[in-house]
Structure 1
């Protein structure tokens, strides 16, 4: 609801000149006031111009001003506030200014705010998918030092980790290459096929994320069977100026020290930002003094896992331009991590090897060194009512594992260095999307994607061969209203893909002398595989009213087998096993149904989502029960294919009491079945229930703002549904607590947070953690303190 007024609003209201000629397209300022239905001003509402992306935030009197908002020809304003229904205003030439915008007194309209960075995909996703939105505040509250660690607080999302510095997400029981990370418009490619390969994203450099649960192959292509983590472009300053943001944190369990410095600037249509982050952490503490490995009971000295320290250094920078019809940005980022691997993870450890040398921050071998460098370009062009989006990206992913050659059956003088395994992946990506809007209730979308990857290797060990991979896809999508309360969407997609695998001959070493025999073993033959697929999806949304929405999505998703699944053949020490690929693997196909009911009012939020999926030729890595013939190879695991079923649900409930108390409850459950073995698939997370109580403290204080205290608990059910030769995991309960507040001193706002995880120092196992294979419990009690200082210069 909105009203246009041509008179002045108050004596100091913003003055605007309305251009009367319909042929004129000169830029002009846009401004006005945002009020509720009672006529009272709304503070901190966001008013955004589309296209263009300029935005402003209302002041204490509800006024806003957007400099150079442009001609009102085909102009759209998006107005949002956390406590009110979102408003979309379509203006035309000659519309009066200033504006008075009236927002309904309820957080009920579920149509999401459209963001310039990925507006086209945003509208598609929100139609019938199950989506969770999180912001910078959520990341700060749930921060653990890794980006994936913060996501584990969400229902339906779990974290697979190696220690505390390496983590990757799972959605609805799916991980690895079935979870796609769309980082600022570009699909992030690294070594995501391995559980010990973390998600290479700076946790401090993320301001807004949406978790899309369920199949998204229609929009993103292969690898999107389980869901997408969509990291959005960070916001720019609303007006000319400069800002600095300083964040520091400390964790008691491993002495982790994190510091991040960010800079943002804007000058008219130009904007720019930069960030540098450094993290340093020591060996982490577990609530146990022993563990079992290969039948041996081994000590954990001082309750600290030797050689689990790490260090990270990340950089990023963006330069961009935004006008009424054009938005374009160029982003460069560099993620750099060095992390120790627990000494008991490679070879057969002895008690004396686990004794600390007194330096808990020392990183010895075995260890991994990871680097992920990216260059990303995002451009959006408004063509009348239509829009064109083009994304380009280049990624250089470097992963190196260092170890002593003797532990791998190779004489040290022959190896030349401690580089056991080097993986070097170059990825080139291009995306194009064109949106046609015949009217306000109909959207037509055409899109295409191209990707090329080149992988090379190095080191005295072998796991993956040299290979080239390419993928290309075209899709068409339409969304339209079939009735006042009914929206429907449907699309179709065609993809092709190919892998060219090079032969690899590995030298054979004598196990007695550790010297080469002069013979070579063919680990991987040379071969090529080509794939193609036609898929589609359809969905419907019923909006009974502002408070109640019902969504149904039916999708046919797919995934091409990766070069790793086809051709790997070596010891993967991070997973304590020999992994062997299968060159005859076929393409995965999934047929999924998602049903979501959502109710949202001013104080009460309720969402339940149920899903069911049938998959043909589902690829998984399974233990054979046999030992590897390779030195220190452990057990032999092979990639296999079988038909499988997945089903489950997620539940989220929130209620805000008038006293300032808020209660949250979340539950998730997923189960699967291998239709050939009639057993569950490996690495399936157990069901869990999470609850929390949060109370606002001193809500009307002018010195302490946004102050709160909370207590939370998480119960993980026992996981007895396991694959053959996979361990079961007992249940566990974890208690957490914390507080936070904003301190206003001398017109400067300091933001403090204090949280404690695993308060009872409970010894528990994470079923999908890689150290679960060693019977190593997860991190013990950890108290985290952080302070953030945002400065507007």
Structure 2
């Protein structure tokens, strides 16, 4: 809490000064007609508005000094301009060129706050709206629509993201600007986030330790929270989804308003699913779940500073499928089950100087996790409390060089209250400092940086030596220097290349260091290794992009070498009627990439065809294959966009054909997985009702009820197929 008090004092001091800078302007097309509904955003802030029917717009209380303004409108070329604010009022006249292209969002996760096409480090971006139109049945399911992203699943409700073959503690998840800490090393534990109230997701594929420290060795998944309403507006919506396979329902209600400098939003969600059905018609008992979620935020901004406070409460009650369960009821999870409460508080504070900016993110999360064998038997009960901070100073730009220096840290405690211990009571402290530089001139961009991190892990002794549940006290320190270098160039107006070289590290987690007992989620007796060293990796990424008005193509290739890769291996012995597994280390390497096209032919600009192929291979230094490596995939989507007179706008119809190849490259305790093809359909659009609108969508996933098993399904060992046909109906009433 000490950091919270310091930051609140910091915000108060910054509010002493106040000025009234604002921008007015008009936006026209090349034929001098006024453009309505153009989005105008100040990059690096939550300030945005839209032009009215006359093309006029106004933004008040904007940051002083140099700002970057982005102008977006579907069907027109995106425009970004830099403006130095030296007077109380600035007047702009903007002309947008008509052009068929996709809008580029400003990337938040890469910290220099640039549009996707401007970033040296390749960052994938998807809005929740895009993912839902593609038939995503959950947040983690939506992530898998991004090339290179897969999902380790346990039924319908538990999913863990995989980035190019790396998962668990090797993938760092950020939400509300702070790192998500919720016992993510557990195989049977999901993200604990609800899709409602999330605006978009950004994915960095590859080591991002320079920006985020330990655990970003495989990449970062960065969830951007729902935006506040535009200045001077109030918006309300009610969203409803129905799922045929699980008889599932999801209801969300949200309201947000920005009357002046103050901004407020709140959103509640309730989701419920029965057991999912496989193509034979049978149900997979106890894959049911009930989720309650609440998000709220309050913000304030003026020309000198901005504050954004967010809170998210998520309650998840979900069943754990096991053999010989007797089906009772429909929705309430049976035993064994998990009950998880997750609280996330975040505070983002920005202070603007004439030519520089100071930004601080402070977060606190409280993860309360129970695993119950019966109503009166709490087998596992852990409370994880994490406070973290991230302070960055954006130095004045010198010539063509932007510089950021920063410090990040974390204080984390884990306490046990159940009959069993998965990991011991422990305290973890992180601190790291970094500096990164971005150089731009003409068509060339270079990014470089250095970072040093220190992690200290202290755990208590518990139990009797030689017995299950015994944990020896540990006091370990892990340190690492890391660096990154990237180069981007626009060879022509249509062809761009990027190359990034980066190192990353991951300190071993408590489970890997200390385990001594049966891990119920995987039915094995796990023994930790307190002598484990840092995982240290070195990765090279190459990205090539070609973009014309009607054709786009990309190629991404990578090679990732990891020293001291931590893995779990069977010993052949048995304890407590379970096979014994030890944590070991060996050098490893992964390689592969993604390639894809997007074609929308003239004069049929309403027709879009996208196709992508993704591949990853992971091996130890002895050429044994790594576990949990996704099979190669080929994804295809044909989508048409249309309007039907005046009653249906932004209409779309899509056909997806996704082929997953067989996985023959499996580890010693995995088995081969057969290939399969899934067909999905989608249809939707926006219906106007006076001043209100309704977004409608209908998706049919696994249309032909194909029986298949994904290689990353944790139910694969029991021969349980993945979900059969699932029809999803979505309605979003915007008032």
The alignment's TM-score, normalised by the length of structure 2, stands at 0.93
Aligned pairs (5 A) from 1:519-538: 521=468, 523-538=470-485
- Inter-CA distance 236–362: structure 2 relative to 1 (3 Å threshold): closer
Q: Which of residues 397, 414, 439 in structure 2 aligns to 1:480?
A: 439
Q: Which of residues 383, 393, 403 in structure 2 aligns to 1:434?
A: 393
Instruction: Give the match's secondary structure for 1:343.
Output: coil
Instruction: Give the match's secondary structure for 1:333.
Output: strand
- Rounded Cα–Cα distance in structure 2 between residues aligned with 1:468 and 1:70: 40
- Inter-CA distance 580–123: structure 2 relative to 1 (3 Å threshold): farther
1:496 maps to: 454
**How far is 1:373 from its partner?**
0.5
Q: Which of residues 572, 579, 582 in structure 1 aligns to 2:519?
A: 572
Work out whether 1:667 is the aligned partner of 2:660: no
- Residue deviations 1:114-162, cap 9 Å, x none? 76x9854668996322211111311322454431111111110001111
- Rounded Cα–Cα distance in structure 2 between residues aligned with 1:743 and 1:110: 22
Q: Give unmatched runs, 5+ long, in structure 2.
A: 1-16
1:101 maps to: 94
Work out whether 1:247 is the aligned partner of 2:239: yes
Instruction: Give the match's secondary structure for 1:504.
Output: coil
Instruction: Give the match's secondary structure for 2:380.
Output: strand
CA contact (8 A) 2:458 2:476 kept: yes
2:311 maps to: 332
**How far is 1:731 from its partner?**
0.5
Work out whether 1:466 is the aligned partner of 2:425: yes
- Rounded Cα–Cα distance in structure 1 between residues aligned with 2:390 and 2:117: 17
2:264 maps to: 272
- Residue deviations 1:487-508, cap 9 Å, x none? 111110001111112122169x
**How far is 1:333 from its partner?**
1.1
2:42 maps to: 49
CA contact (8 A) 2:287 2:318 kept: yes
Q: Which of residues 572, 575, 599 in structure 1 aligns to 2:546?
A: 599
CA contact (8 A) 2:63 2:304 kept: no
Instruction: Give the match's secondary structure for 1:218.
Output: helix
1:374 maps to: 344
- Inter-CA distance 51–788: structure 2 relative to 1 (3 Å threshold): closer
1:418 maps to: 377
- Residue deviations 1:555-575, cap 9 Å, x none? 011111111110012222222
2:13 maps to: none
- Rounded Cα–Cα distance in structure 1 between residues aligned with 2:579 and 2:458: 28
CA contact (8 A) 2:61 2:301 kept: no
**How far is 1:44 from its partner?**
2.8
- Rounded Cα–Cα distance in structure 2 between residues aligned with 1:717 and 1:187: 34
CA contact (8 A) 2:460 2:472 kept: yes
Q: Which of residues 692, 703, 706 in structure 2 aligns to 1:748?
A: 692
Instruction: Give the match's secondary structure for 1:752.
Output: strand
Instruction: Give the match's secondary structure for 2:106.
Output: coil
Work out whether 1:393 is the aligned partner of 2:363: yes
CA contact (8 A) 2:452 2:482 kept: yes
Aligned pairs (5 A) from 1:760-775: 760-775=704-719
Aligned pairs (5 A) from 1:308-323: 308-323=287-302
- Rounded Cα–Cα distance in structure 1 between residues aligned with 2:105 and 2:253: 30
- Rounded Cα–Cα distance in structure 2 between residues aligned with 1:311 and 1:237: 30
Aligned pairs (5 A) from 1:216-227: 216-227=208-219
1:194 maps to: 186
CA contact (8 A) 2:679 2:702 kept: yes
**How far is 1:725 from its partner?**
2.4
Q: Give unmatched runs, 5+ long, in structure 1.
A: 1-23, 289-301, 405-415, 508-518
- Rounded Cα–Cα distance in structure 2 between residues aligned with 1:326 and 1:603: 42
Query: CA RMSD for the aligned pairs?
Result: 2.5
- Inter-CA distance 140–121: structure 2 relative to 1 (3 Å threshold): same
Q: Which of residues 587, 597, 602 in structure 2 aligns to 1:643?
A: 587
- Rounded Cα–Cα distance in structure 2 between residues aligned with 1:124 and 1:87: 12
- Inter-CA distance 56–747: structure 2 relative to 1 (3 Å threshold): same
CA contact (8 A) 1:550 1:597 kept: yes
Aligned pairs (5 A) from 1:161-172: 161-172=153-164
The alignment's TM-score, normalised by the length of structure 1, stands at 0.86
- Residue deviations 1:526-578, cap 9 Å, x none? 12111111111101111223322111100011111111110012222222322
Instruction: Identify which range, 359-368 or 612-621, moves more after superposition.
Output: 359-368
Work out whether 1:691 is the aligned partner of 2:636: yes
**How far is 1:423 from its partner?**
1.8
Work out whether 1:88 is the aligned partner of 2:47: no
- Inter-CA distance 572–125: structure 2 relative to 1 (3 Å threshold): farther
1:776 maps to: 720
CA contact (8 A) 1:80 1:87 kept: no
CA contact (8 A) 1:503 1:522 kept: no
- Inter-CA distance 69–560: structure 2 relative to 1 (3 Å threshold): closer
Larger radius of gyration: 1
**How far is 1:106 from its partner?**
4.1
CA contact (8 A) 2:46 2:228 kept: no
- Residue deviations 1:445-502, cap 9 Å, x none? 1011110111111322332111111111000111113x52211111100011111121
**How far is 1:40 from its partner?**
4.0
